Structure formats: C-alpha cells, structure tokens
C-alpha cells in the first residue's frame, strides 16, 4: 500500500510547494527591479552557504553543528526520498544513504529540541516551537518507511491488517513532516528561511561581500547612492514595494534567531527598535496583514498587533499607525552590529536608511534637531552652523601647512567637523604633534574642507550628502597627495567607501584613506616615533563601529597601544562585537528616548574591566562616552595618548632627525 501512497504524497507535496514558490516569487517581484546574474548567482550558492554563511553561524559551535546535521541531513534525505520512494529507485546504495541522512537529521533535530526547551528570549516562539517536532516527524517517518526498502524489514512488513494501521499512522506522521518541510517551506512556515535564504545568497545585493575561489570577500559597507537625476521618482522607500526585489527576498530569508536583537544597542537601551522585528514587519508588509502573529520580542514599549501594512501601503504613516513607527527607524545608530551578526546576511542598515531617505526627502520629517542640522549643513557646510571661515581657529598658533599654498603633500590631514568642537580640538592638536614628531610631510585643506556628508546621508538627506561630497571631491581633485589621514572614522568611511561612486569623468574619487591609528601604527613600525614607557593604570579600548565593523580595522589601534607599552584589558564586547557608543547614524541628533542611554551601557562595559582609562579613536565616541555621568574611566583618544608619551629620539637617532627637520619642534598640547 505504501508503494502507491508514498509517490502520491511526495509528488503532491512537491506540487503544492511549486505553487507556493511561484506565489512567493511574485511577492518579491513587487519590488523595484535590480539586475542580478541569474546563473552565476545560483552557481555561487553552495560556496556562499558553506563558507560565508557558516563562518557566521560557526561563532556558536553547538548551533553550527546542529544546523550542519539537521540541514545537511534534510537536504540529502529530501533528494534521496524523491529518488527512492518517489521514483522507486531503492536499489543498492541509495536506500542506505537515505537511512543515514534521515538518521543524521534526527540527531540534529534532537539538539534543536534541546535548545527549544528553555529558549533564550532572542529566539522567536510561535510556529518555531513546533519545528523540532516537525523535523523529528520527517526524519523518523522517512527512516521508518525506508527500512523495508533496504531489506532491514521484510518487503511486506506494512501489509496485513495490523501493519496496515501502522502504515497509515506512519503516513500521517510523514504528511506532517512533508507539510512542514516541503509545503511549509514555500508557503511561509519556519522552513521558508531555507528556500528564501538560498535564493537570497544567490541574488544578494552586495555580491562582493562573499568570498570567491580567488580570495576572501570584501567588506561592503558603503551605502548605495540614490539616483537623484529622475525628477519624478519618489525618493527613498515609502511602501514595501519600493524596496528592490532582492531586498524583499532578503527579508524573507530571516530565520528569527534574534542574534541581531541581542547585539542591537538601541534594543538594549529600550528604544523602540528590534532589528528582527523590523525585518519581520517588512515581511508582513510585503505579504500584507498585521504583525499580530509575530512571536518574538516586540519593539521595547510597543505591544505587538497594533501595526499593519500592505505592499502598496505606506510603511510610516504621516499621522497614526502604519507598519512601523518613525521612532523605530530613527532609533538606529547604524552601528551594523545586526548585519555583522546576521547568519542570513540580511542588510538591516541599508533598509533603515532607505526608509529614512523617504521620511527626510519626501515627508520632511527628520525628528528633533535633524531638520536644524540639515539646514546648517546646507547653509554652512557643517552641522553646527558655524562660520566656514572659522574652521581653522583652533589651529591659529600651529601654522598648519595649507594645501592651497603647498599644492601637494604626502599626507592630507582631514580634520572633520571635530575642528569646531573644543574636545576634539585637543585630539587634533595631539595628532598634529605626533605627525610633527615623526616628521611627516602633511597639509590640511583648511577652510576649503567641508563636512564629509556622513550625518546628512545617515539622516536620509541624500541630496545634501551628494552636494557636499561632490564639492569635496572637486576640492580634493585640485591637489596631489598620497593618502588621506583622519582621526574621524566617519569621514574615513565616507571618503574611502562612499565617495567612489560619486566621482565624475576626469575626477576619480578613489582615495587611499587611513584612520590616524593605522597611520600612527605605521609610524611606530617605521621607527619614526619614540615614546616613554606607560606609567598609568589599566586601559581598555573601545572599537568605533565605523573603524571596526565598517572597515575591519581592529589591529592598528591595539598595536599602537601596545607600542605605548599598554596592556589592554579587553571588554567582553570588543572587536567585531564592540557595542556602539550611541553616537552614530545621527542618533544623538534625532534623540529617540529609551529607558537607558547607550553610552551609559558602554561605560558600564568599560567599568567591568576595571580599567581607569578607555582609549577611543573617534570624536563621536569621545563625546558620547565623556558625556556619561559618574564614569569610572577617563576617555582619551589614541592620538592624545601617543602625544603625551612622546619623547626625544635616543642618541642613535638624534643625528638623523636633526638633519631632516627644520620644521617647528613639537608643540605643547593644551
């Protein structure tokens, strides 16, 4: 009897799944077009899955092995099941292979079940709680029906009256398993992540993120430019169908593991943002409906079930509620912790900035100080509204060489808007002292410099960003330099990763940009800096998001601190898991209230190490961390630490140094 029933069941499930696939694909195709290499993309799935995705999953060894067993077992079992039971090719090794595959899958599902016994709060519940049972149902029933096929049970075992009931019961379990694993995969069950995830890997919007046989994948963190040439186009994303189709596909790939939620600084601070919920809301919007069925942690302070959306409906309503509240989008610090953690390679930050672009460029609704800052950027080229010709006042006594006078220099020192900030001016003065001590040939743009456009872009004002960027590119194209050095990781990121797209003909905007920690590390390596041994207390280092996660520079600041003789007391969340200071993405400007402040939490992390001093490498981080009341640690920029440790070159070097330098000696730091 099973001989007849099994093929029917299997092919019925596959047929229904095919219908579901078509339906799902049509949901994605509502999005804007985005050309992808079809065959090449599909061919790259195995590598992207086995190498890049597993690189992220493997950060949790137990889960990684569980997934290898379960998913690997399932894929093998499903293919073999179709061959063995669907087409009746039970001969020889195929049946044994199916037995092995389903057994492996069963072992994996036991681990899934164990994890679901006391699931951490970041995991979604609801349908996900039944998944281990469904996995077991599938693997066990496939195992059982295969036993006669390989001869472990007599061929006619499932015949006769008692066995007949057994066969029926087994079929029922198999129907459950097939329902979840095949039908549910295409119709939006928990297993959707496998089907959508595979295609998401194939047609990812940032293909350069993935490794190829030639080498490692590149960090792809720069936001994509918005086309401003089309006068009539709606700018940014107003409704779910305004995303590109492969972004929608990416949302569908979410496996609701909540690793993003666990890392999100805004979520931890009780601001109304949860990256996982945001992605699920986009899925709700894509398919139409309400978020009532969402079974994970809500946005802090916002009950589930009050929001709904549709593919053609607005995501954020001007008044009242739609799919997502504006505060949710403005809570993000763009720290990329969620993207870094996401095993499905979903690009949360891109989506958030796309939606912010609409709010700013079309609604004109940037909250709190946002509008004022953007107006200042338009009128004065800096967010504070200061006079552009006051940019160099901090360096009135330093006689900094200007590019306008020199025309060329080895290093162009990009000051950033910190030039107007009295705290950051101390950092800048230290950096100048260090560069002069190492006898570096550098020059500054002075009053010709403008804001890099980072804040404007992350507040969604792409028009102001592109205007600033293009004028900066035009200024930079006038001068010759080998590299740009800056103490502002935000300028570093924007100049290095986001200007390239905006260069024009005859005006390429590809620069070699270094963070000052990288450059100082090189100066140490070249033996151009001489320092006294460190005498202070314990020190920890706070990785700036735009230096670390955005640009992968974790080593240089640490090697500088090591060269100073400092032994770091690392925080639990450091390196690629560093927690944001709360200063990125315009978050201090939009200032969405939460239960705690992000910098307070970060200072708490610092406190746990017992360090008396936290070294930073970013004006935003400095401002945010120094703003913490009753902090247990002092905040010092790396440049300040190096400058205060500088000493004369030992005898052996003295002659060489004297010959090469007729510049002003190192200047005292205030």
Partner 1 sequence: MRPEARVDASLEITVLVSVGRHPVTGRARRADQDARAVELARGVADASVRLLHAGGKEADSEPALRGYLGMGFDALTLVEQPEGADALPALADALNEAPPQLVITGERAEQGEGSGLLPYLLAERLGWPVVSGLAAVESVENGVATLLQALPRGQRRRLKVRLPAIVTVDGAAPAPRQSAYGPARRGHLAAVPGSVTVDEAWASWETQPARKRPKRLKIVKAASARDRFKAAAAKAEGGGGQVLTDVTVEEGAEAILKLLKEEGVLR
Question: Can residue 44 be called a binding residue for partner 1 (CB under 8 A)?
Answer: no
- Closest separation in Å from C-beta 357 to partner 1: 10
Question: Can residue 290 be called a binding residue for partner 1 (CB under 8 A)?
Answer: no
Question: Of 169, 292, 387, 656, which lies in the binding site for partner 1, with binding defined by CB under 8 A?
Answer: 387
Range 343-362, binding partner 1 (CB under 8 A): 360-362
Question: Of 256, 366, 427, 430, which lies in the binding site for partner 1, with binding defined by CB under 8 A?
Answer: 366
Residue number, 332 or 361, with CB nearest to partner 1: 361
Beta strands per DSSP E along 361-489 = 408-414, 442-444, 480-486
Residue number, 123 or 361, with CB nearest to partner 1: 361
Backbone angles phi, psi at 202, to 5 degrees: -70, -40
- Closest separation in Å from C-beta 405 to partner 1: 24
Cα–Cα distance for residue pair 222/224, rounded to 1 Å: 6
Residues 6+ apart with CB under 8 A from 502: 225, 466, 469, 470, 473, 509
Signed CA dihedral, 194, 332, 260, 518: sign only: positive
Q: Which of 552, 550, 401 is nearest to 481 (CA)?
A: 401
Range 98-127, binding partner 1 (CB under 8 A): none
Question: Can residue 56 be called a binding residue for partner 1 (CB under 8 A)?
Answer: no
Q: Which of 317, 281, 315, 276 is nearest to 297 (CA)?
A: 276
Give me the residues paired with residue 613 across strands: 539, 634
Give me the residues paired with residue 484 across strands: 412, 513
Cα–Cα distance for residue pair 30/33, rounded to 1 Å: 9
Only one of the segments 34-42, 70-78, 460-468, 608-616 lies at the binding site for partner 1 (rule: CB under 8 A); that segment is 460-468
- Closest separation in Å from C-beta 374 to partner 1: 7
Residue number, 380 or 632, with CB nearest to partner 1: 380
Per-residue HEC secondary structure of 188-249 comes to CCCCHHHHHHHHHHHCCCCHHHCCECCECCCCCCCCCCCCCCCCCCCCCCCCHHHCEHHHHH
Residue number, 385 or 610, with CB nearest to partner 1: 385
Question: Of 120, 385, 407, 610, which lies in the binding site for partner 1, with binding defined by CB under 8 A?
Answer: 385
Question: Can residue 32 be called a binding residue for partner 1 (CB under 8 A)?
Answer: no
**DSSP classification of residue 667:** P
Residue number, 174 or 592, with CB nearest to partner 1: 592
State whether residue 527 is helix, strand or coil.
Answer: coil
Give me the residues paired with residue 411 across strands: 442, 483
102, 73 Cβ separation under 8 angstroms: yes
Question: Of 364, 506, 650, 664, which lies in the binding site for partner 1, with binding defined by CB under 8 A?
Answer: 364
Residue number, 343 or 370, with CB nearest to partner 1: 370
Length of the chain: 670
Signed CA dihedral, 250, 253, 254, 257: sign only: negative
Neighbours of 252 (CB within 10 A): 24
Range 231-250, binding partner 1 (CB under 8 A): 231-232, 234-235
Total number of residues binding partner 1 (CB under 8 A)? 26
- Closest separation in Å from C-beta 392 to partner 1: 16
Question: Can residue 371 be called a binding residue for partner 1 (CB under 8 A)?
Answer: yes
State whether residue 509 is helix, strand or coil.
Answer: coil
Question: Can residue 471 be called a binding residue for partner 1 (CB under 8 A)?
Answer: no
Cα–Cα distance for residue pair 192/185, rounded to 1 Å: 4
Question: Can residue 388 be called a binding residue for partner 1 (CB under 8 A)?
Answer: yes
Cα 11 to Cα 23, 141, 178: the distances in Å are: 18, 16, 10
Range 311-330, binding partner 1 (CB under 8 A): 318
Residue number, 147 or 378, with CB nearest to partner 1: 378
Beta strands per DSSP E along 613-666 = 613-616, 634-637
Question: Of 374, 435, 539, 587, which lies in the binding site for partner 1, with binding defined by CB under 8 A?
Answer: 374
Q: Kind and range of the H or E element at 351?
A: helix 348-358
Backbone angles phi, psi at 480, to 5 degrees: -110, 130
Question: Can residue 533 be called a binding residue for partner 1 (CB under 8 A)?
Answer: no
Residue number, 231 or 659, with CB nearest to partner 1: 231
Q: Kind and range of the H or E element at 281?
A: helix 275-287
Only one of the segments 36-44, 162-170, 319-327, 384-392 lies at the binding site for partner 1 (rule: CB under 8 A); that segment is 384-392
- Closest separation in Å from C-beta 543 to partner 1: 34
Backbone angles phi, psi at 487, to 5 degrees: -100, 10
Question: Of 52, 281, 354, 461, which lies in the binding site for partner 1, with binding defined by CB under 8 A?
Answer: 461
Residue 432, Cα to own-chain centre: how many angstroms?
Answer: 33
- Closest separation in Å from C-beta 361 to partner 1: 5
Residue number, 88 or 385, with CB nearest to partner 1: 385
- Closest separation in Å from C-beta 233 to partner 1: 9
- Closest separation in Å from C-beta 191 to partner 1: 39
Question: Can residue 363 be called a binding residue for partner 1 (CB under 8 A)?
Answer: yes
- Residues 189, 191, 194, 200, Cα dihedral to 10°: 20
Question: Of 370, 418, 446, 583, which lies in the binding site for partner 1, with binding defined by CB under 8 A?
Answer: 370
Residue number, 73 or 367, with CB nearest to partner 1: 367
Residue number, 378 or 402, with CB nearest to partner 1: 378
Only one of the segments 57-65, 91-99, 380-388, 541-549 lies at the binding site for partner 1 (rule: CB under 8 A); that segment is 380-388
Question: Can residue 463 be called a binding residue for partner 1 (CB under 8 A)?
Answer: yes
Residues that bind partner 1 (CB under 8 A): 231-232, 234-235, 318, 360-366, 370-371, 374-375, 378-380, 385-388, 461, 463-464
């Amino acid at each position: 009897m099973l001989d007849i029933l099994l093929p029917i069941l299997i092919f019925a499930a596959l047929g229904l799944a095919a219908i579901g696939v078509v339906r799902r694909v049509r949901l994605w195709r509502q999005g804007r077009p985005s050309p992808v290499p079809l065959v090449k993309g599909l061919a790259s799935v195995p590598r992207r899955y086995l190498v890049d995705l597993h690189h992220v999953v493997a950060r949790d060894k137990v889960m990684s092995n569980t997934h290898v067993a379960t998913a690997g077992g399932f894929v093998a079992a499903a293919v073999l099941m179709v061959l063995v039971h669907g087409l009746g090719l039970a001969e020889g090794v195929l049946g044994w292979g199916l037995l092995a595959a389903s057994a492996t899958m069963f072992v994996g599902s036991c681990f899934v079940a164990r994890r679901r016994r006391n699931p951490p709060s970041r995991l979604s519940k609801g349908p996900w709680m039944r998944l281990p049972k469904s996995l077991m149902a599938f693997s066990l029933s496939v195992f059982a029906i295969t036993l006669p096929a390989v001869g472990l049970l007599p061929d006619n075992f499932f015949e006769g009256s008692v066995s007949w009931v057994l066969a029926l019961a087994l079929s029922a379990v198999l129907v459950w398993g097939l329902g979840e694993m095949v039908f549910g995969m295409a119709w939006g069950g928990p297993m959707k992540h496998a089907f959508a995830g595979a295609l998401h890997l194939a047609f990812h919007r940032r293909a350069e993120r993935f490794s190829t046989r030639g080498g490692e994948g590149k960090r792809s963190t720069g936001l994509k430019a918005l086309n401003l040439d089309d006068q009539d186009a709606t700018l940014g994303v107003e409704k779910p169908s305004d995303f590109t189709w492969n972004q929608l596909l990416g949302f569908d790939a979410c496996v609701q593991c909540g690793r993003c939620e666990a890392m999100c600084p805004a979520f931890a601070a009780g601001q109304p943002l949860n990256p996982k919920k945001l992605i699920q809301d986009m899925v709700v919007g894509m398919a139409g409906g309400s978020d009532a069925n969402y079974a994970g942690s809500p946005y802090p302070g916002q009950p589930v079930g009050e929001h709904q959306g549709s593919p053609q409906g607005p995501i954020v309503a001007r008044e009242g509620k739609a799919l997502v509240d504006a505060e949710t989008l403005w809570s993000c610090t763009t720290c990329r912790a969620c993207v870094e953690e996401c095993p499905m390679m979903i690009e949360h930050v891109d989506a958030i900035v796309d939606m912010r672009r609409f709010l700013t460029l079309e609604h004109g609704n940037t909250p709190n100080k946002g509008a004022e800052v953007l107006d200042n950027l338009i009128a004065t080229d800096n967010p504070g509204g200061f006079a552009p010709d006051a940019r160099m006042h901090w360096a009135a006594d330093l006689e900094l060489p200007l590019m306008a006078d020199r025309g060329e220099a080895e290093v162009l020192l990009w000051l950033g808007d910190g030039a107007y900030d009295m705290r950051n001016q101390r950092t800048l003065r230290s950096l100048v002292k260090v560069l002069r001590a190492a006898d570096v040939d550098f020059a500054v743009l002075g009053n010709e410099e403008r804001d890099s456009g980072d804040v404007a872009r992350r507040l969604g004002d792409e028009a102001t960003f592109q205007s600033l960027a293009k004028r900066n590119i035009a200024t930079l194209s006038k001068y010759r330099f080998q590299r740009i050095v800056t103490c502002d990781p935000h300028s570093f990121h924007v100049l290095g990763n986001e200007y390239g797209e905006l260069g024009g003909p005859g005006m390429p905007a590809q620069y070699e940009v270094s963070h000052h920690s990288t450059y100082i590390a090189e100066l140490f390596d070249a033996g151009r800096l001489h320092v006294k041994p460190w005498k202070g207390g314990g020190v920890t280092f706070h990785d700036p998001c735009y230096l670390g996660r955005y640009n992968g520079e974790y080593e240089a600041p640490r090697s500088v601190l090591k060269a100073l003789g400092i032994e770091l007391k690392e925080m639990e969340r450091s390196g690629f898991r560093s927690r944001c200071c709360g200063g990125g993405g315009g978050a201090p400007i939009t200032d969405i209230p939460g239960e705690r402040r992000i910098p307070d939490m970060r200072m708490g992390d610092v406190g746990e190490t017992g360090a008396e001093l936290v070294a930073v490498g970013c004006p935003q981080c400095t401002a945010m961390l120094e703003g913490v009341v009753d902090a247990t640690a002092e905040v010092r920029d790396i440049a300040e630490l190096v400058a205060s440790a500088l000493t004369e070159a030992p005898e052996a070097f003295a002659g060489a140094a004297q010959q090469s330098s007729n510049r002003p000696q190192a200047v005292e730091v205030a």
